[in-house]
Structure formats: C-alpha cells, structure tokens
Amino acid sequence: MRPLIFGVLNVTPDSFSDGGEHATVDAAIEHAHSLLAAGADWIDVGGESTAPGRAPVGTEEEQRRILPVIRALADEGVAVSVDTFRAATAAAAIEAGARLVNDVYGNDPLMDVLVARSGARYLAMHSLGEPTTPAHYADVVNDVRTALLARVDALLALGAREDQFVLDPGLGFSKAPHENWELIARLDGIVATGYPVLVGASRKRFIRGLVGDERRDGDTATAAISMLAAERGAWAVRVHDVTATRIALDVLEATRGERS
C-alpha cells in the first residue's frame, strides 16, 4: 500500500527550506492547493521554523500565522495536520479543524493532557532537544524505538487511545548523518512496533551533506528516501516536493503490479 504524502506548508518568513515563500495567508492557501493538485493527501501546516539559529516565535504570533490557513483548508475538507510543539497552539489548531498534531519536541507537559482529552491523532517524533543537540546511541534504531514506545506508554497512562498515535524516528534531530541513514535502512525496526510510521527527511541537513545545497538534488534524494520508506512499510512521508515523491511512489507501485 502506498504511503500517504504529507505536503509541507511553512507559513513562516524564515523557513530553512523555502525562505518564507508562503508567509501570507493567501500565499499559503494557494501553495496548499498546488500541493494537493500534485498528489498530497495531507497538508502539514507550521508557523515556526525549527532550523538551527532561527528566531523564536511566541504562541500568539504562531497562531496568527497558521490558524486562518488551517481553518480555510479544513473548511474545504482538506486533511490538515499542525506542526507545533506548543499545547496551546495545538488546541487552537484542533478547534480550527486540524486532525493531527505533529509535535517536534514533545516537551510541553500540557500537550500530554491535550492529546489524552482531545482524541486527536498525535505524531510522536524522536528528538533530544534542538536538531543539533549531540546524542550517543548504543544502537540508534533500538534506542529510538524504545524512546518512542516510552512516549506512547506515558500518554496511554493518561487516557490516550492506541489508535491516536503515529511514530516519527526524527531524522535530522539529535542524530549524526550516518545514524539518519541507518534509521532509513532499518526503518522496519520502527514499523515493527505496529504503530503507523511517518518519515520526514525532506530538505534536511544530512541530505544536503550527501548531494549538496541544490534544492532540486535534495528533492530527488528525498523522493528516493520516500521509495525506500515505502518498501519498509512506512504509513506516510512528509515532503516539500510532492511531485517528485508521488512519481517515485508511482514507480514503486508499478513494479508491484499495483498500477496498470
């Protein structure tokens, strides 16, 4: 089965990946429509960059950026996720129509209560702080899997349901380049948890270390990763260039006899 495609929509002036091309509400909604036309199944809306050295954004400003976009897309029937680590923003986004919370850091204790009480789907991503925070792993796949399951268990203890969870190994966060590649190669070790797994590699630094800073080359590498993730059982991939990934997944489906 083909993974779902989450199209990335950064409503920010300082995104590391798109330079603030969609920072206004109208521009953001227009880009969302282009992502959907290219084959995106979900739109992942974020209002604060997680790039190293970025300027922090307060809750009020984050919500000002994203809530009108989420509301407009949800009113059209679009499946929307919100990329935020703040419980207050997640709650407001859910009220506006977001169906899934994509929590990068998992460090807001109020988020746990929100997840348990709201019933919204929750993407638990593995992260040990900022993306550049150093970490040491005995076995990166086993260690990431253990940490993610511990996160799920903590939320289940608060009353969350099993079917709310999606797991993300957190490529590019607190991991050396070779550890990111190992997580991709051994993704089936995360899929074996039984929870849906999302892979978000798009335009991250470890890819640029392989192919350089040319965006086109990075998007090509991301499409290849999307195909590898699909072969290993990923439920979804999160990408900026939906077209390249859709084509890669179409090719994989053709080799499986799933397309005429």
Active site residues: 204, 238
- Which helix or strand (DSSP H or E) is residue 101 part of? strand 100-103
Sheet holding 121-125, edge to edge: 165-168, 121-125, 100-103, 80-83, 42-46, 4-10, 236-239, 198-199
The C-alpha atoms of residue 50 and residue 56 are separated, in whole angstroms, by 9
Q: Are 246 and 15 in contact (CB under 8 A)?
A: no
Degrees (nearest 5) of the Cα angle 21, 23, 26?
100
Q: How many CB atoms lie within 10 A of CB 58?
A: 10
**C-alpha separations of 163 from 107, 152, 182, 184 in Å:** 22, 11, 27, 24
The C-alpha atoms of residue 216 and residue 203 are separated, in whole angstroms, by 10
Listed residue (205, 174, 9) closest to 107, CA to CA: 174
Q: Are 203 and 17 in contact (CB under 8 A)?
A: yes
Q: What is the DSSP string of 151-171?
A: HHHHHHHTT--GGGEEEE--T
The C-alpha atoms of residue 258 and residue 251 are separated, in whole angstroms, by 10
